[in-house]
Amino acid sequence: VVAVIPYFDRFLSRFPSVFDLAAAEESEVLKLWEGLGYYSRARNIHKAAKVVVEQHGGVFPADLAGLQALPGIGRYTAGAIASFAFDRRAPIVEANTLRLYSRLLGYDGDPRSTDGQQLLWAFAEAVLPKSQPGRFNQALMELGATVCSPKAPDCEQCPVSGFCRAFRDQSQATIPRLAKRAEITDVTEASV
């Protein structure tokens, strides 16, 4: 994070508002994005700024549908923005909560499958409180990152271990099921 702060500050200095970003040429946006990561993100941010200005009068949408209609914003990012920035009830499933929810539910199927995703997103929606959903989502992400870790979760310190099926069944090491790695095919090329 420390390494990118000057790049981020430079970007924000040139584009202090969504109107400034929307009015810029893509080439300038990409040039100022150097050092901040994937260029597709810069393109999507630029496109989204144009949509926000043209269709929303420069006001960033706060609802999930409006957020997901913006270029580059998917279900997780929309939920994060809605809950963190606007304190809206919006579920979040990302790596840490995927692991936490899978273990709480004792779900030993593939959490990345269609069925797994439907189950985990429905659970994420069901557990959201009516007040302070942003803080709740942030706490669950932190719990997944620090306590319900991929290897050697600290179940003894977990505040929700009493509700955790994986803890009850001692299946924390096998839940969630790891994604299958693509099989590598050795190829030998010969020129004639």
Residue range 143-172, pLDDT digits in tens: 999 999 999 999 999 999 999 999 999 999
Sole residue written with tokens 């709740």:
136
Structure tokens at 146: 């620090």
Query: Mean pLDDT over all residues of the chain?
Result: 94
- Cβ partners under 8 Å of residue 88, min gap 6: 62, 63, 64, 82, 133, 134
Q: For residues 87 and 47, is the Cβ–Cβ distance under 8 A?
A: no
Burial class of residue 184 in the structure, from the number of CB atoms within 10 Å of its CB (0-12 exposed, 13-18 middle, 19+ buried): exposed
Residue 120 has pLDDT above 80, yes or no: yes
More confident position, 191 or 70: 70
pLDDT value at residue 161? 95
- Going by pLDDT thresholds of 50, 70 and 90, the confidence category of residue 119 is very high
Sole residue written with tokens 């144009």:
50
Give the number of other Cβ atoms within 10 Å of residue 178's Cβ. 11
Main-chain dihedrals φ then ψ at residue 82, nearest 5 degrees: -60, -45
pLDDT value at residue 192? 66
Residue 56 has pLDDT above 90, yes or no: yes
Q: For residues 8 and 33, is the Cβ–Cβ distance under 8 A?
A: no
Bond prior to 129 in cis (omega within 30° of 0): no
- Going by pLDDT thresholds of 50, 70 and 90, the confidence category of residue 30 is very high
pLDDT value at residue 149? 95
pLDDT value at residue 180? 74
Determine the Cα angle at 105 with ends 171 and 68, to 5°: 125
Residue 182 has pLDDT above 80, yes or no: no
Q: For residues 97 and 144, is the Cβ–Cβ distance under 8 A?
A: yes
Q: Give me the half-sphere count of Cα atoms (radius 13 Å) on the Cβ side of residue 95.
A: 6
Residue 55 has pLDDT above 70, yes or no: yes
Residue 191 has pLDDT above 80, yes or no: no
